Amino acid sequence: MKIANNVALLIIGERDKVHPVLTWDKNNLVLIDAGYPGQTSAIIEAISDEGFCAENLTHIIVTHQDYDHIGCIMDLQRLAPNIKVLSHDDEAPYIDGRKMPIKLKTRLEKYDTFTPERRASLDWQKEYYESTRITITETVSCGMVLSICGGIEVIHTPGHVPGHIALLLKESNILVCGDGLTIKEGHLVALSPASNYDHEQAISSFDKIRLYNLNGIVAYHGGFLKLKN
């Protein structure tokens, strides 16, 4: 779904929808976040529906380490072998396999307190991360502006995880906020404390996001909210 001149919202999944973002210019085709494992075909189809080929992706920018954001990166790297994968420096070791993801490690420490179903989910996540080897091509930091697609500004929004980032698409003045917030009934809403590594820090990042005078905002689990006519 096109939401600006060079920005499209991809709606992936049925019940638990996620919303990667596609942005482009003459020389670049950029995907922001990459769905759950197993959603590669849906992402390729959604990119095709916007008039592009996933084989021509030049960049994937990852807002953070959670598996629902990195799930299809390995497949897309095989499809487009020259693609660049970017993340915040603090997130890179969790994405490329050098470290166990923070929230997974915390939950595994409480493994025996969970239901069998919850333990099975944690076992699956642990196996997924151990078998996933994503190459991070470049790391980014707060305030950096990528000179592609009309300018993409990196905003460090820690709290959900320490290296979480939001991305300001400067040409359209749309902010892609990852899991920095969600959208419910037309309102920006902070995630619950249970969803965040450091909830106090997450609230500070949420407040920072709300200071921007934006045309619109994309939440990964909430979709697109237009803020100006």
SS (H, E, C) 165-177: EEEEECCCCEEEC
- Whether residue 217 is found in the same domain as residue 145: yes
Higher pLDDT pick, 197 / 165: 165
Same domain, 214 and 109: no
- Average pLDDT of span 62-85: 96
Indicate whether 44 and 152 sit together in one domain: yes
Q: Are residues 15 and 125 in the same domain?
A: no
Residue 194 in this model has a pLDDT that exceeds 90:
no
Which domain range does residue 122 map to?
103-131
Report the predicted TM-score, pTM, of the whole model to 2 decimal places: 0.95
Whether residue 65 is found in the same domain as residue 171: yes
126 and 198 housed in the same domain: no
What is the token pair recorded at 201?
């820090």
Quick: pLDDT tens for 204-225: 999 998 889 999 999 999 999 9
The pLDDT value recorded for residue 229 is: 62
Same domain? 114 vs 137: no
Number of domains within the chain: 2
Same-domain status, 92 and 115? no
